[in-house]
Amino acid sequence: MDKFRMMAQILQSNQESFMNGICGVMALASAQLYTSFEFNCPCIPEYNYSYGISMLVIPPIWFFLLGFVLNNNVSMLAEEWKRPVGQRRKDPAVMRYMCVSISQRSLIAPAVWISVTLMDGKSFLCAYSMDLDMSELGKNVSGHGLSQEELLRTLAKIPCKHIYDGQHILSREAATRYIRCISQAFGWLFLLIITIAAFLIRAIRPCFTQAAFLKTKYWSHYVDTERKMFDETCTDHAKSFAKTCIKQYFEGISGEIQSFHDHSRGDDSDDEDDKPATEEDKLMGVRRQDTMNKVLWDWHTCKPPLSLRKSGDASTEQNGDLYYSKV
């Protein structure tokens, strides 16, 4: 039992911790990308806003999609969604759960980018320097003698240290400080909101749907495990198929049949537990190309029901009513 407990620990911790690891790596990549990216505000009235806002919004979308691409469970979700009903009904709750958990993990890197961008303040400064209300900084709004357009052009140059020429009207540092302060306030507010949302989802959820949650968690993990098991079984089967095929080919050429070789090896061992499974057994009765094709075809188009036969029961499989609990 100890071996199995350790295996379960590794399995459970591995799947989750692997996904969490990818999530963390993407968050760090997002922060690193921001620091290494050279922000370059155009300082022109027509383009400032677009540049600033797109720096705030487009990389998060990119990270979100990247999260979907890197997540293995996406193909699993798509497969479960698209398969024909066959002998196994589809559970929309399970698909919702998988979709939500994939989205949650993919949302972390974009959130990191947005909060780092807001805390740093450069993109906010670039986008909103022209909307600056000079009376906030204690400056006389109309005492500078510039037309509206010239004023806008001067304000647009605030993010660029080296070309700003309005020092006599408005101190660049004071304006930068003010706008950055607003940007940081938005950043902290954003972090507070997503933390409260996550808190409500995780801490308050057990109040509402705990029993249903246990079920969907079990079945979504089951779907994942079953897919892996199927792939493993197919690989083993292919190996046995190939071995048997080659053996039979050699036998066909040489004219000798060596089919008793495996059985005699098995009889020699005294210990029943250590009897190796012969290649024949591993084939599980599937020995032709068209049969194997049928296996693979039916796996998608007509998945078997979630109802195991007892080991001594060689008769037709149970086709009893599939009890489906709607929660």
Partner 1 sequence: LMDRLKLVLQYFQSNSESISNGICIILSLISVKLYTSFDFNCPCLPQYNKMYALGVMLVPPVILLLLGVLVSRHTGVLMEEWVRPLGNRTKNPAVRKFLLSSMLQRALLAPMVWILMTLLDGKCFICAFSMNVNPKYFTGIPNSTGLELIKIMAKVPCKEDAIFKNSSFRKAVSRYVRCYSQAIGWSILLFFIFLGAVGRVLKPCFNHATFLQTRYWSNYLDIEQKLFDETCVLHARDFARKCVVQFFESMREDVTVRMPLSNALRPSSIHNEHEEEEEERLHGITRQDQVDHLLQTWYECKPELDLCIMLDSEQFKLWTMPGKKPHPTI
According to CB under 8 A, which residues from 154 to 213 bind partner 1?
Answer: 171, 173-174, 177-178, 180-181, 184-185, 188-189, 191-192, 195-196, 198-199, 202-204, 206-207, 210-211
Which of positions 95-124 make contact with partner 1 (CB under 8 A)?
119-121
Of residues 18, 37, 81, 230, which one binds partner 1 by CB under 8 A?
A: 230
Of 55 and 125, which CB lies nearer to partner 1 in the complex structure? 125
215 is a site residue for partner 1 (CB under 8 A): yes
In whole angstroms, how close is the CB of 44 to partner 1 at the nearest point? 25
Cβ neighbours of residue 265 closer than 8 Å, sequence gap 6 or more: 276
In whole angstroms, how close is the CB of 74 to partner 1 at the nearest point? 20
Of residues 229, 245, 246, 257, which one binds partner 1 by CB under 8 A?
A: 229
DSSP string, 210-276: HHHHHHHHHHHHHHHHHHHHHHHHHHHHHHHHHHHHHHHHHHHHH----THHHHHHHHH---GGGPP
Of 21 and 58, which CB lies nearer to partner 1 in the complex structure? 21
Cα separation, 115 vs 286, in Å, equals: 56
Of 131 and 136, which CB lies nearer to partner 1 in the complex structure? 136
Q: How many CB atoms are closer than 10 A to CB 220?
A: 23
Of residues 65, 78, 242, 277, which one binds partner 1 by CB under 8 A?
A: 277
Number of residues that bind partner 1 (CB under 8 A): 87
Which of positions 280-319 make contact with partner 1 (CB under 8 A)?
280-281, 284-288, 291, 294-295, 298-299, 304-312, 314-315, 317
Contact present, 47 and 159 (Cβ < 8 Å): no
Stretch 247-266: interaction string toward partner 1, x if CB under 8 A: -------------------x
In whole angstroms, how close is the CB of 85 to partner 1 at the nearest point? 14
Cα separation, 20 vs 26, in Å, equals: 10
Q: Token pair for residue 86?
A: 């066959």
245 is a site residue for partner 1 (CB under 8 A): no
Q: How many CB atoms are closer than 10 A to CB 134?
A: 17
The full 3-state SS of 257-299, as one line of letters, equals: CCCHHHHHHHHHCCCHHHCCCCHHHHHCCCCCHHHHHHHHHHH
25 is a site residue for partner 1 (CB under 8 A): no
Of 61 and 229, which CB lies nearer to partner 1 in the complex structure? 229
Give me the sign of the Cα torsion angle 21, 26, 29, 34.
Answer: negative
- CA angle 326-86-288, nearest 5°? 145
